[in-house]
Amino acid sequence: MAAAGSAAAGRPKLGEEKLIIRPEKVRFIDILSLLILRRPITSYAFVDAGDQTTRDVGITPGDIFVTLTEIIQKALAAAYYPAKIIGAIVELLLNFFALNGGLLGIIWNIIRFKLVIPRREAANFRTMIGMIDGRTELKPAPAASVGDMRQLQVLDVVVSGEVADLESGGYVTAGTPLVLRQYLILEITVMAAKIAYENAAFVKNVVNNVWKFNFVGFYNGWNKFLKEDTTQAFVFTDRAKDASVVVVAFRGTEPFNMQDWSTDVNLSWLGMGAMGHVHAGFLKALGLQEEDGKDTNRAFPKDAPNGAAPIGKHIAYYKLREVIRDQLKAHPQARLVITGHSLGGALAAVFPALLALHGETEILGRLGTVQTYGQPRVGDATFVSFFRAEVEKATAFYRVVYRYDVVPRVPFDAPPVAEFTHGGSCVYYDGWYDGKVLPGDAPNPNYFDPRYLLSMYGNALGDLLKGAFLWTRAGKDYREGPVSLLYRASGLLVPGLASHSPRDYVNAVRLGRIAPKSLL
């Protein structure tokens, strides 16, 4: 762990490092004070700051991004129950119509006494994400794609500046196949990240019967701070025996779950020793035990403490680590692949960093790649350095961003209060799925830059038109229904919201081109 120590050498531990902002305690007068009086952020009752953090931040007032964050979180809190109720009703109605074949089908099924009533845990029930994009099949890699360097497969074979022989089969990193059976690893991860939004029965059916892979399990993670299961992930392998990969896919931000959206934008962080400052909400989702910015072992112990979760419940990090160990032991040649979209992408990034913090060298030694889609920021520059030194030294981390997707641009980077930044290789696609690799962040990193306003609204309109007619050029797999088009229209109100849909990430992986010269 020498590299980790050097990564954190610039941050002496003189006291408790944490900044916890509790939006439920923010009052209207606090927001006015942030805007007008500009008092030090650590002086507010809704902020729980460590002693070292208070010294570091000093008299720094809360800037405009801190204020915007609290306004957004108050709005999300107010919308929590209405959105939850509306979301449940909309999903049930959409499934009711879909399962019965539309209005005429409903009438006919009533006559035949065969009306289908949706059940949320059934294998044929789809969430709103599934209604926006119902594709479940994996798309085989075109025979010519490896030879002509299309899509992102070139990315997957660039290791230490060297490009493997594409014709003889490339690798993400040593031992991880570029093409698994007839599918690119990138195709598998983006589809896994998409179906992670569905229920366990749906996911199992797709993995076993549609993909013809091997479903291992679907897991719910207990969040002791929210006192409920807030984290979902599933694990699968390409074969039941002698598998080549073990894949972990985390569920992302659900469209009607305002709590998920609030977590994404929250500026709260904890000092995690060598890991640096890490987003508190994502740590809680994986299994944080204490909001302790001084004692990392107490905050996130290496082994699950007794009684950390109610009987029958599991903590995401510890349960998934156990499952991964068992699977890697059962498949000696397999490599570990981690993925997720949105909030799931954040968890996919923090999870291997925790493995490194806990010295899980055997698991990290088998890590093949981390590939995330529409991922929010998860930590500060020290975290990025730690991840690069301890995780990326043996694998590849690709962070795919589609156009003006709002989520990769939160939490806001608001130094010195919150210094969130991105790591990994940013693979950025524009509205026509032309891709490039960026050395840093995507354009308009804090979302509210007025220079991008016209472009953002223009992109939202362009995406709506493209969604309506893309199928005429790309084929029937790209035909979008009314639910998807209505969701795209939301981008005309909040630009960047519709760009967060997994549909565009799937389209980018399948249709996008990326210039080889940008990778070499």
**CATH classification of the domain holding 38:** 3.40.50.1820
Under DSSP, the state recorded for 414 is B
The answer to whether 197 touches 130, Cβ cutoff 8 Å, is yes
**pLDDT band at 89, cuts 50/70/90?**
very high
- In 191-276, which ranges are E strands? 214-223, 228-237, 245-250, 269-271
Residue 484's pLDDT is 97
Type and span of the H or E element at 298: helix 296-299
Residues 303-349 pLDDT 10s:
999 888 999 999 999 999 999 999 999 999 999 999 999 999 999 99
Q: Is residue 1 part of a domain?
A: no
pLDDT higher than 50, residue 270: yes
Q: What is the pTM assigned to this prediction?
A: 0.91
Mean confidence (pLDDT) of the chain: 88
Q: Over the stretch 150-207, which tens digit does the pLDDT of each residue have?
A: 443 333 333 333 333 333 333 354 455 678 888 989 999 999 999 999 999 999 999 9
Domain assignment present for residue 8? The answer is no
d(CA 457, CA 62): 29
Structure tokens at 479: 């035909």
Rounded Cα–Cα distance for residues 303 and 455 (Å): 48
Question: Looking at residue 150, what is its pLDDT?
Answer: 40
Question: What is the token pair recorded at 132?
Answer: 């926006």
In a domain, 325, yes or no: yes
Is 3 a member of any domain? no
Give pLDDT, residue 64.
Answer: 87
Within a domain: 63: yes
In terms of residue numbers, what domain contains 29?
A: 16-518
Backbone angles phi, psi at 440, to 5 degrees: -135, -125
Q: Mean pLDDT, to the nearest integer, of 3-28?
A: 71
Buried residues in 312-345 as b, exposed as e (16+ CB within 10 A)? eebbbbbbbbebbeebbeebeebbbbbbbbbbbb
Domain count, the chain: 1
pLDDT at 14: 59
Residue with tokens 């294998």: 123
Average pLDDT estimate for 42-47: 92
Average confidence (pLDDT) over 473-482: 95
Let me know if residue 198 belongs to a domain: yes
| Residues forming the active site | 342, 405, 500
Binned at pLDDT 50, 70 and 90, residue 146 comes out as: very low
2 domain-assigned = no
Task: Specify if 432 maps to a domain.
Answer: yes
The confidence band for 142, taking pLDDT boundaries of 50, 70 and 90, is confident
